């Protein structure tokens, strides 16, 4: 079977430290995607994490402008510092085709909870904007994630890069308790039968294909999904339909 892939976890830009053959520009990333048969991408710029969220957001928006198969994510910081979240934040998201947010609380030195993000995350929840947290990259760890969801149980949350070593004991309770929690598959696919067992328990609707390029090989997560022991309809949902749906329901 062939699948149309909408990759939820693609990054471009020149990293501070050497990464093997990154996509330095959005155009480079589009070439990588075309080479691998990935038709659309929800993308972020490495400077959003490594340099400064505000400047990284600007670089990302500029780079994806006019590139119709690239959908942007912006990094957030505490609203109190006015570095990123300003009164026209959601309007700017709309004009720049930003459909999701990313947070790197550990690296960016803040706490992601109600005290810091109360009103903002209430609005994010109402607008159904996905908040993406990379479990491997400065998410604050599982206790912080559990606290966040206890405070914002309806928040649309996508967990990316969920860890090299099987994370079922962390992720399955979240899938069970919070209907708007989704898992990106770049590392779920690494786990043997991770896709199959998660689908069997919580449904294919809860998974979003992701490759985590340039750190990981797109072919790895793609082959694992293509030949997972799940129905073809489930594969289509994971490969692209679920993320298409999440993006469509965003209200900006």
Partner 1 sequence: MKTSHHLKKTFFTRGRAPDCPIYDLHGHMGPYHGLHINRETAAQADAALKRAGVRLLAFCHHSALAAPDIGNADNIKAVRAFPDRLRAYCGINPNYPDQVEKDVASFDRYADVYVGFKFHPSMHGIPVTDPRNAPAWQFADARALPVLLHTWGGGPTEGHPAVRKAAERYPRAKILLGHSCHDSWNEAIQLVKDFPNVYLELCAVMDERGILERFVGELGSKRIVFGTDYPWFNHHYYIGAVLGAGLSEDDCRNVFYRNAEKILKIKRR
Residues that bind partner 1 (CB under 8 A): 19-21, 164-166, 168-169, 187, 189-194, 196-197, 213-224, 226-229
Shortest reach from residue 244's CB to partner 1, in Å: 22
CB nearer to partner 1: pick between 112 and 208: 208
Chain mean position to CA 148 = 16
CB nearer to partner 1: pick between 65 and 226: 226
* Long-range CB contacts for residues 59-63, cutoff 8 Å, separation at least 24: 59/13, 60/98, 61/96, 61/97, 61/98, 63/12, 63/13, 63/25, 63/26
CB nearer to partner 1: pick between 47 and 187: 187
Shortest reach from residue 164's CB to partner 1, in Å: 6
Shortest reach from residue 165's CB to partner 1, in Å: 5
Contact 140, 102 (CB under 8 A): no
What's the token pair of residue 43?
């993308």
Q: Which residues partner with 100 through β-bridges?
A: 73
Q: What's the angle, vertex CA 212, arms to CA 42 and CA 147, rounded to 5?
A: 80
Shortest reach from residue 102's CB to partner 1, in Å: 21
List Cβ neighbours of 245 (8 Å cut-off, separation of 6 or more). Answer: none
CB nearer to partner 1: pick between 28 and 151: 28
Shortest reach from residue 247's CB to partner 1, in Å: 26
CB nearer to partner 1: pick between 21 and 109: 21
């Amino acid at each position: 079977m062939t699948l149309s892939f909408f990759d939820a976890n693609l990054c471009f830009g020149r990293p501070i430290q050497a990464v093997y053959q990154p996509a330095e520009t959005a155009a480079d990333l589009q070439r990588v995607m075309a080479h691998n048969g990935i038709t659309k991408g929800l993308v972020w710029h490495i400077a959003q994490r490594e340099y400064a969220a505000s400047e990284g957001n600007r670089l990302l928006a500029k780079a994806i402008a006019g590139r119709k198969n690239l959908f942007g994510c912006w990094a957030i910081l505490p609203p109190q510092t006015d570095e990123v979240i300003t009164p026209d934040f959601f309007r700017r998201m709309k004009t720049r085709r930003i459909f999701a947010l990313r947070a790197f609380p550990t690296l960016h030195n803040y706490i992601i909870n109600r005290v810091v993000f109360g009103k903002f995350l209430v609005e994010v929840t109402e607008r159904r904007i996905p908040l993406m947290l990379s479990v491997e990259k400065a998410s604050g760890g599982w206790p912080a994630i559990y606290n966040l969801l206890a405070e914002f149980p309806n928040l649309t949350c996508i967990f990316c890069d969920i860890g090299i070593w099987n994370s079922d004991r962390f992720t399955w309770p979240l899938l069970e308790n919070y209907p708007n929690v989704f898992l990106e598959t770049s590392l779920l696919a690494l786990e043997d039968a991770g896709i199959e067992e998660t689908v069997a328990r919580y449904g294919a609707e809860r998974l979003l294909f992701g490759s985590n390029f340039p750190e990981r090989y797109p072919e790895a997560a793609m082959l694992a999904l293509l030949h997972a022991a799940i129905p073809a309809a489930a594969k289509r949902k994971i490969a692209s339909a679920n993320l298409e749906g999440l993006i469509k329901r965003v209200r900006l």
